[in-house]
Structure 1
């Protein structure tokens, strides 16, 4: 994973509607980047729905949430609509952002990884789940965010 206390790599990726979203769009805000292996997989669906159900916890902490995987915009759109996800899903089809954040697993898929970027673009927290079949439950994720 990317080292904590380093400058977060800049990126621009399309969201599910095709709008280009850049990390710099959120200057002055905290951003939680959630790398995940893929749309419509059981664990990723459970994970992102857990975060959806508790999105007010991110809002209370003034944190913008961005989900990133290598899935297409069309896949993200369907996945987000079906699950009523209130945060942007970004399409990293070339895996360039996952590479920049050192969030690629050994099979070339995105790890289940979390990066919290502060208001100045510095990485406050960066880690990945050891097993891809397990995700960070909301209470554990918030504990790590609050401690950062």
Structure 2
């Protein structure tokens, strides 16, 4: 695990600026004014990660309906994420935390130092940049869509 701890709900979300699948930097601070879901995942093209992100893809309307921008983040290189996004047709941004390796995952307390990848951590940041919900699941355990739906309902309440 990372030395950093998972940010506390109610505190400002850690900043991040990462390249998307085309190398364009995406900064969390530039997205203020609308809520954002930051979804860390271990590896592109792996079984559980593909299942989770395809489920988000197939249910992206739940995020769109409440104006939440979805960002999926891994330590994979940008080109790997681009190939995976094209293969799976993801309608949301995939961001590369490849270099400096795992810096964003470390800031969110979800970087596994022993294996060099992000754990399954999801964070819902409100329009003011405050963390409103988070979940971090152990290795091998997918995050249920119902948890996202509950967090989105709470945010829009």
- TM-score over 0.5 for the pair: yes
Most deviating of 76-85 and 131-140: 131-140
Asked whether the 8 Å contact 2:34–2:126 carries over to 1, the reply is yes
Note the residue ranges of structure 1 that are not aligned, 5 or more in a row: none
- Gaps of at least 5 residues in structure 2 are 1-5
Q: Summarize the alignment of residues 1-148 of structure 1 with structure 2, pairs less than 5 Å apart.
A: 1-93=6-98, 94-105=101-112, 107=114, 108-129=116-137, 131-147=138-154
Return the alpha-carbon distance in structure 2 between the equivalents of residues 4 and 122 of structure 1: 8
Q: What value does the CA root-mean-square deviation take over the aligned residues?
A: 1.3
What TM-score comes out, normalization by structure 1 length? 0.94
Please state whether the residue corresponding to 1:128 is helix, strand or coil.
strand
Task: Please give the per-residue CA displacement for 1:45-90, whole angstroms capped at 9, x wherever unaligned.
Answer: 0000000000000000110000000000000000000000000000
Q: Offset of 1:106 from its aligned partner?
A: 5.5
Paired residues, what number? 147
Q: Distance in 2 between matches of 1:140 and 1:9?
A: 22
